[in-house]
Amino acid sequence: MFVNVTNGIKTWLVGLFASTITHTTRPEDRVLAIRWLSQSREVVASEVSSLEKLRQLNALINSRTTIKAMAKSISATVSNYRKSNLSLSMKIALPATLAAIPFVGGHAAGIAAFGGALGVPVLLLVFLGTAGITSIIEAVVTSPEARTDIAEIIDIIIEDERLRQTSAQMKAAMKEQPMDPTRFAMPVEEMALRKYLLSMDPFNFEQQSMSFFHRAGLEAWVTRKSNDFGVDGFAVHPDGLMIVQCKRNSTENKVGRPTIQQFKGVVEEQNAHRGYIITTSTFTEDAIVSAALTDKIVLVALDDLVLWHAEPPIF
């Protein structure tokens, strides 16, 4: 019961932070907020003492007027938690839950009443921890209004611990002319949809393909510039990096085994969670056999892609 209440409070706080950030007027302020959260996550995960963490978190909040204003808004909402849409059990538990954070220790008493020199937002960041702060960042960067400056956002995304083993070259490829996924208006009738997919501009096809990952709630983007890895799109799954190669081929131009082998090498070298090859054609028998040798490669042929349009996949 206590765990459910605590998780409910964390979910509410993640939503509160994300809503406050996404509803700011200026795109540059949203980018600043994402960077603030990223830096705060690093502080919470660091090896310094508890007091030093609290000091650093407070300094980050006070480093920018914009961040301080957002923190003040969040603080005001949390301080008036009795008027929120939290359940009664969560309202009762909230003060004691925050005050009992082991990380804060003996300093909890000074801020248990949602006040004190350290401030409410610092306490909330400590309570949410690295996982909670990551959830806020993900909620913000998948919001269309928050992705105005996608290059800045990607700079922050690639600092994520889940991408720690990704090579410097791959991280550079992620940042080469990044573009948001785009969901184009597609024909409903199956034969018309197949014909439309086969006639799409190759880059538009990449944007359409990556839109499924974005729609599933993942951080996802397309890179316009070709790279040595043959990767057209990226998505960040809770379990790690997902890389995507798109082949807008004619139906008779099947994807062969050499393409699969090369792509498997990239997936393994980058320690990626999964690699997707999406095509408007099909795969040769040798390609299918090669892909089946690992659970990290997913082949998406035209028939599968048509099904994706009818029932979006879960990644």
Asked whether the predicted pLDDT for residue 206 surpasses 60, the reply is yes
* φ and ψ of 66, to 5 deg: -60, -45
pLDDT tens-digit series, residues 27-40: 778 878 888 988 89
pTM of the model: 0.63
pLDDT tens-digit series, residues 146-162: 566 677 778 777 777 78
Instruction: Report how far residue 65's alpha carbon sits from residue 60's, in angstroms, rounded to the nearest whole number.
Output: 11
Position 127 scores a pLDDT of 84
Position 167 scores a pLDDT of 92
Position 288 scores a pLDDT of 97
pLDDT tens-digit series, residues 290-300: 999 999 999 99
Between the alpha carbon of residue 183 and those of residues 26, 146, 186, 199, 210, the distances in Å are 25, 17, 9, 16, 9
Beta bridge partners of 240: 237
